[in-house]
């Protein structure tokens, strides 16, 4: 009977162990099956969808607009070359005059008489010099006396020339074709040599002057095609000057554009633009909405693209021009697939499911 009890106990133990390990094995298999199903489900998770379009670089010449103002092509403050009383203001303020036209007259005092005396002295010294020449050639005149006569003759010529110039300078004349913009003296006033008398301008041709940044000045040269825009008028002309040194205060470079103003239709000081065409370069035309500021590159402006394996890349770009319906950017390959919608939800290196814009109605 003891033997039967031992056998029964052994059977119970064996059954218990079988049930225990069978349950554990079944649980382990179930866990494996669940993990495999979860992994399969993860693998089947759809890739993020983005909208894309193909883009090919085109030749593009940007229009560079520089804000400025009109200025005279020449500007002078005319000063007195002789002292005296202002006798007459000849030209009207703001009047257009030709080179050599009288503007202001200064009292010549006795300069006309001095001129007559200088002419008489010159005639006398010339006769003395010619006589000394003849005597020297005949051997009756020493070299010393001849030299004295020659010096007196030369001095008389110099005095006559100086007197004639002084008399001419009593009339202030226009130095070039232009505008007698303003008088700085009145009739009856006394002036000394060097005192300012008039403000004189040349308005034909006229210039537009503007300031360019360091980047802008590198995009144009004196041969760059350009026009000036004043109000609703567009004026043909040429870039006549590009500063080679920056303004130390604002770090900009002066640009001057010259145009014809034959009828003096434009005055100095008017708001104007210089619109210059830059050198041709390869660029892509895009809508501003797809430009992206990358957090991974310190906020640099760029575009996201995909390659043949649909992997996302980021390209730093630079806006080189604008149009009514988009902007032109550089920094991309010649041909590229641009992400146009969804670029904010994917990161460089991610694989995406692209959808062509052309396939969306």
pLDDT (tens digit, 9 = 90+) per residue, 48-101?
888 999 999 999 888 889 999 999 999 999 999 999 999 999 999 999 999 999
In a domain, 142, yes or no: yes
Q: According to the model, what pLDDT value does residue 3 have?
A: 59
Q: What is the domain-level CATH number for residue 123?
A: 1.10.287
The Cα–Cα gap between 68 and 210 comes to: 4
Q: According to the model, what pLDDT value does residue 240 have?
A: 95
- The pLDDT of 8-19, averaged and rounded, is 62
Q: Are residues 210 and 146 in the same domain?
A: no
Q: Are residues 272 and 303 in the same domain?
A: no
In a domain, 233, yes or no: yes
Q: Are residues 287 and 351 in the same domain?
A: yes
How many structural domains does the chain have?
3
In a domain, 4, yes or no: no
Residue 297 pLDDT grade (very low, low, confident, very high; cuts 50, 70, 90): low
User: 27 versus 175: which is more confidently predicted?
Assistant: 175
**Residue 299 clears pLDDT 60, i.e. is over it:** yes
The Cα–Cα gap between 102 and 174 comes to: 6
156: containing domain: 108-169
**Residue 32 clears pLDDT 90, i.e. is over it:** no
In a domain, 326, yes or no: yes
Q: Are residues 298 and 256 in the same domain?
A: no
**Residue 42 clears pLDDT 60, i.e. is over it:** no
How is residue 182 written in tokens?
Answer: 């303003």
Q: Are residues 247 and 287 in the same domain?
A: no
**CB 125, CB 152: distance < 8 Å:** yes
Q: What is the domain-level CATH number for residue 215?
A: 2.40.30.170
Q: According to the model, what pLDDT value does residue 5 have?
A: 61
Q: Which residue among 150, 169, 188 closes a domain?
A: 169
**Residue 27 clears pLDDT 60, i.e. is over it:** no
Q: According to the model, what pLDDT value does residue 359 have?
A: 74
Give which of 90, 109, 74, 82 is closest to 195, Cα–Cα: 82
In a domain, 154, yes or no: yes
**Residue 23 clears pLDDT 80, i.e. is over it:** no
Range with lowest mean pLDDT among 7-21, 163-177, 346-360: 7-21
Range with lowest mean pLDDT among 25-34, 55-64, 120-129, 331-340: 25-34
Q: According to the model, what pLDDT value does residue 63 have?
A: 87
Q: Are residues 215 and 269 in the same domain?
A: yes
Q: What is the domain-level CATH number for residue 341?
A: 2.40.420.20
In a domain, 331, yes or no: yes
- The pLDDT of 16-23, averaged and rounded, is 58
Please, what is the average pLDDT of the chain? 86
In a domain, 148, yes or no: yes
Q: According to the model, what pLDDT value does residue 38 have?
A: 62
Tell me: cis bond preceding 186? Omega within 30 of 0 counts: no
- The pLDDT of 353-358, averaged and rounded, is 86
User: 129 versus 268: which is more confidently predicted?
Assistant: 268
Q: According to the model, what pLDDT value does residue 177 have?
A: 95
Instruction: Tell me the residue length of the chain.
Output: 361
Range with lowest mean pLDDT among 112-116, 230-234, 292-296: 292-296
The Cα–Cα gap between 273 and 234 comes to: 10
Q: Which residue among 221, 249, 277 closes a domain?
A: 277
**Residue 152 clears pLDDT 80, i.e. is over it:** yes
Range with lowest mean pLDDT among 67-76, 97-106, 107-116: 107-116
Residue 29 pLDDT grade (very low, low, confident, very high; cuts 50, 70, 90): low
The Cα–Cα gap between 332 and 308 comes to: 16
Q: According to the model, what pLDDT value does residue 28 have?
A: 56
């Amino acid at each position: 009977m003891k033997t039967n009890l031992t056998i029964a106990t052994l059977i119970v133990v064996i059954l218990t162990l079988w049930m225990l390990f069978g349950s554990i094995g079944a649980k382990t298999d179930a866990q494996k099956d669940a993990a495999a199903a979860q992994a399969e489900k993860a693998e089947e998770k759809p890739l993020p969808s983005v909208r894309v379009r193909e883009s090919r670089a085109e030749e593009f010449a940007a229009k560079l607009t520089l804000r400025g103002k009109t200025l005279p092509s020449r500007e002078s403050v005319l000063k007195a070359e002789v002292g005296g009383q202002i006798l007459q203001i000849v030209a009207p303020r703001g009047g257009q005059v030709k080179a050599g036209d009288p503007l202001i007259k200064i009292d010549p005092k006795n300069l006309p008489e001095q001129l007559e005396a200088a002419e008489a002295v010159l005639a006398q010294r010339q006769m003395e010099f010619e006589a000394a020449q003849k005597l020297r050639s005949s051997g009756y005149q020493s070299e010393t006396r001849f030299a004295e006569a020659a010096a007196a003759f030369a001095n008389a010529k110099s005095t006559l020339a100086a007197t004639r110039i002084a008399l001419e300078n009593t009339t202030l004349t226009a130095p070039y074709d232009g505008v007698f913009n303003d008088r700085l003296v009145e009739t009856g006033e006394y002036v000394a040599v060097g005192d300012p008398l008039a403000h004189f301008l040349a308005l034909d041709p006229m210039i537009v002057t503007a300031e360019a940044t360091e980047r802008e000045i590198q995009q144009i040269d004196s041969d760059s095609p350009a026009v000036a825009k004043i109000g609703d008028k567009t004026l043909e002309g040429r870039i006549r000057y590009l500063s080679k040194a920056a303004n130390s205060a604002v770090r900009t470079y002066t640009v001057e554009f010259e145009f014809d103003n034959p009828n003096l239709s434009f005055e100095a000081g008017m708001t104007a633009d210089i619109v210059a065409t830059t050198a041709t370069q390869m660029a892509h035309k895009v809508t501003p909405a797809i430009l992206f500021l990358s957090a991974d590159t310190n906020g640099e402006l760029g575009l996201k693209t995909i390659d043949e394996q649909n992997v996302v890349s980021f390209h730093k770009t630079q806006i080189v021009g604008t149009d009514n319906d988009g902007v032109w950017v550089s920094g991309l390959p010649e041909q590229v697939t641009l992400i146009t919608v969804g670029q904010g939800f994917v990161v460089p290196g991610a694989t995406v499911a692209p959808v062509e814009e052309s396939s969306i109605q």
